[in-house]
Amino acid sequence: MTAADTAPQRSTSGHFDALDGVRGFAVLLVFCVHAAGNAAHAAFGANFGEARLATLTGPGEIALYWLYCSHHGVYLFFVLSGFLIGRMWWPRPVTTYAAFAWRRTLRIYPAFLLALAGSLVFAATSGIWRPADLATLGANLLFLNGLPSLGVVALNTVTWSLFYEMTFYLAFPALALVAIALGPRAGVALWFCGVTLPFVAVGMGADYLVVCWSLLFCGVALAVHETALRGFASRVPAVVAIAPYLAVTTLAFAGALSPTGGVLAFGVAATLVVAKSLAPANAIAWFFTRGPLRALGRISYSFYLVHWMLVVLVARAAEAHAGAWHPIVTTLVIFGAGFAVSVAVATALWWVAERPYFAWARSRSARRRTSPGAARES
């Protein structure tokens, strides 16, 4: 692949095109986890939640288990979020804290609330959970399903990650402002402490999932050292950048990494992949700027919110015919129909709950650019 094959890194609106593709790739990995787990149960009668590679009996189960272990899509989202938010606040803030917190809330909650309503219907009708009581509903609304260790029963099994992202969004700007006041070198301490302290907390008995904050601060490290790391990534061949990512995911698939060690190794590998996607003229950037991945990336948040419930419903329908179908057919139906239905519902949710926010943000930015004050500043 030559430099002529690579797409521009920035769109006319100024954001990185490749990062839309990274989002699409990440949410596709998340989809594969739930589709593979449901397909294994429907087609092979296997429970991957209790399985290990050595216990699998055939190539079909092994292939599905490999996809089931692709939970790194959520981790990739964390690294990407840390980078994007980090570069908004370092080396100088681009907005006020109040405006940032308000916009993050407007960005996150509308689609989440609609998906939560769907989760309540799903909970009441699917037989998987009992309908939520007021305490459970309140905890889900406040914590975005993020505190299962404190007894919060998640109404949507995938949205636990929103708690870690939202707490990062609300706390990181304050940390960044302190670091900015201390001077340029404080940026290293900012991301280093953010990466290491969650691992210390886990070592002292905290819930394993707190290491998700470490992944967010891996993205912050990329933001703090963006120029240097992008320059380094531009000199690294694409195959070398991909190799650590493949090594970490393969070792995790084989059960050869500890949970916390695997998260840290993946954070480093994912940071390199994201940095490489921002560099010009390379195969990784070319891959992430492909139209289908970017289109999926644009609706990735809505897709993430709804896909699990829809995959479960499709798998239940397919399981009723599993006795008459070949396991491969059952698997393909769950993956194909589950993905198609998820895209359709996610697109509708994006139009209803996400597009209004983006339209408001664009109009607000346009008003600022055309205001008399902006004209004087320019």
Digit-coded pLDDT (tens) for 262-275: 888 888 899 999 99
CB 307 within 8 A of CB 36: no
d(CA 116, CA 329): 32
In the prediction, which pLDDT does 281 show?
Answer: 79
Q: Identify the weakest region by mean pLDDT among 9-18, 100-109, 113-122, 180-189.
A: 9-18
Burial label, 246 (beta-carbon count in 10 A; 0-12, 13-18, 19+): exposed
Angle between helices 59-68 and 17-39 (to 10 degrees): 130
Percentage of residues of the chain with pLDDT beyond 70: 86
Selection from 42-56, 267-281, 332-346 with the highest mean pLDDT? 332-346
User: Among 1, 74, 68, which residue's Cα sits nearest to residue 304?
Assistant: 74
In the prediction, which pLDDT does 7 show?
Answer: 38
Mean pLDDT, rounded, of the chain: 84
> Does residue 356 register a pLDDT over 70?
yes
In the prediction, which pLDDT does 377 show?
Answer: 35
Residue 4 phi, psi dihedral angles, 5° rounding: -65, -20
Question: Cα 193 to chain center, whole Å?
Answer: 22
pTM check: above 0.85: yes
Going by pLDDT thresholds of 50, 70 and 90, the confidence category of residue 131 is low
> Does residue 285 register a pLDDT over 60?
yes
In the prediction, which pLDDT does 378 show?
Answer: 28
Mean pLDDT, rounded, for 131-152: 64
* Cα dihedral sign, 279-283-284-288: positive
Amino acid at 126: S
Amino acid at 41: H
DSSP for residue 16: B
Amino acid at 70: S
In the prediction, which pLDDT does 133 show?
Answer: 66
Helices (H) and strands (E) in the chain, counts: 17, 0
